[in-house]
Amino acid sequence: MSTVSTTRSRKKTGAKQNVTPSFMHWRFLVVLVVITSVFGVLAARAAFIQVIEPDELIQQGDSRTLRTRNMPTYRGIITDRNGVELAVSVPVRAIYADPKVIHENNGFDEVRRWDALADVLRQDVIELKEKVANPKRRFVYLQRQVSPAMAEYVDKLDIPGIYLRRESRRYYPTGEVSAQLIGITDVDDTGVEGLEHMFDEWLTGTPGSRKIRRDAKGRQVEILETKAGEKAGNLQLAIDQRIQALAYKEIKEAMIYYQSSSASAMVVDVKTGDVLAMVNAPSFNPNDRSDIAPHRMRNRVITDAFEPGSALKPLAVLTALEFGEVEPNDTIDTSPGWMRLGGSLVKDSRNYGELSLEEIIQHSSNMGTSKLGLSVPKNFLLDTYYNLGLMSDTGLNMSGESSGIFHERSRWSKFELATLSFGYGISVTTAQLARLYATIANGGIKMPLNMVKSPEQPAWQGQAERVISEENAKAIVQMMESVTQRGGTATKAAVPGYRVAGKTGTSRKAVAGGYGEEYVNIFAGIAPVSDPRLVTVVLINEPGGDLYHAGDTAAPVFSSIMGGALHILNITPDDKQVTFSRFLKGGESGS
């Protein structure tokens, strides 16, 4: 019995207990909750990104993949009236650095390459590295406007963080011949002097752009948007480069030969007011600006005012004719060759006695012009000077242009009016004097001077205006012809084959307290007299040799410039006597 009971008790003790199974284990619940939460957060985040605030991430993505590239545009071309190029833009490269990239890629470890870079840029290698020493900077120019060969060499150095970018540089094919007139641009291709500055907005175009998308390797995968730029305008001048080059050559040689401090010349088309040449010496090379002195850059034709002296005497005669005080055939008694006006002396080089109006101009008589100037009312004399444009702009509207110097007074002494009649007490520019003579040559019709053919200048800049009678204008031209003939003060201004009219002007330069020993020599002339086509004004400033009269310095330079211009433009000779004698000489030699 005991054995059976023991066995039963053991069976009862080792039997498994029945456990009621639960619906879901707690560990499973934890995993399920975590997974659901994660997906919930992801879904919420996705909804937030896609629906509520997608812009920020879109912007970040675009900043990594979108790029806007500017399409290159070049500055407009400047040409002369015949299409000869005076200023063009050529493609060049700029070398720049990204200091952050250099530092991240240990770019300074390439010692030999940095030495080579400094050598080709002609910079000290230590100073070059100092420019890119700040790793926070992202852009530093190392050198602008380098040649394609130099750019290719730098590119082959393959220095991390050193890059190239396209830009343009202005090139002037005519060099120093038209330097002050055309002007220059700065390193950013912005006009800073001359016509480059005056027409900077017209010559500058607006670059186009192209928006692209790149992949992770920087390759272009899509063009999203293309925006066309505005093409730069071209500028066609009234200048004739053939005459410009001729005038500059003669002016430069004259400055050296006569040892003058400077010289200028201007050639104007009488019929249109077009400026065919405007030159100054000394000049400068606009393609090499390493050593440019400021005084060489000044366009003296329009900026420098001077007392014209005897070059203004025909205007005194013209004023008397216009007022009706004298007739073309009248004479003036200049005896005894001098007179006192308010304690001051007016005199001629000698006693010319009775002089016709033509002889007053031919012999450059101070007495004759003084008596004519004093014979008309003061207001009429001054108005004539104003009407002929001596104290106003010429129509060029160029930067730095002077309107001359003239001190208006409420009261004028007789001596002041007398000196005004022979070109003292008033200062004018070469351009103003050229316009005065062009007005006389054009039969009394004043035209604004014009420098540009295209684009056409607005009508408000000036229109033709009659300021003196045609009869008196022609009479003065006929009288001035005697100046270049035998007995005149400028026989060296004569041009073989052409009738030439003009007037010399030899004036002393004003200094503190009076006048010094320096001279300004001027010759202003018209040709051909039978049908005036060109006006040329030549100025020799402060000649330093033994020759200091305009008839010996400015007159022969005028002859060379005017003669060359007449031939270049193929203007028919009108001096029948000279032409006929040449014909006979040619016939004799031919036989």
State the catalytic residues. Answer: 310
Cis peptide before 528 (omega within 30 of 0): yes
Question: What DSSP letter does each residue of 490-510 carry, written as one string?
Answer: -GGG-BTTB--EEEEEEEEEE
Cis peptide before 455 (omega within 30 of 0): yes
Contact assessment for residue 151 and residue 93, using Cβ atoms and an 8 Å cutoff: yes
- Cβ-in-10-Å burial (0-12, 13-18, 19+) of 546 comes to exposed
- Cβ-in-10-Å burial (0-12, 13-18, 19+) of 381 comes to buried
Query: Hey, what are 465's tokens?
Result: 């205006």
- Cβ-in-10-Å burial (0-12, 13-18, 19+) of 395 comes to buried
Angstrom distance (rounded) from CA 141 to CA 353: 76
CA nearest neighbour of 92 among 143, 132, 157, 160: 143
Contact assessment for residue 371 and residue 334, using Cβ atoms and an 8 Å cutoff: yes
Length of the chain: 591
Residue located via tokens 């957060």: 41
Q: Which amino acid is at 235?
A: L
Cβ-proximal residues to 178 (8 Å cutoff; 6+ apart), any chain:
86, 172, 239, 241, 244, 248, 279
Angstrom distance (rounded) from CA 322 to CA 332: 17
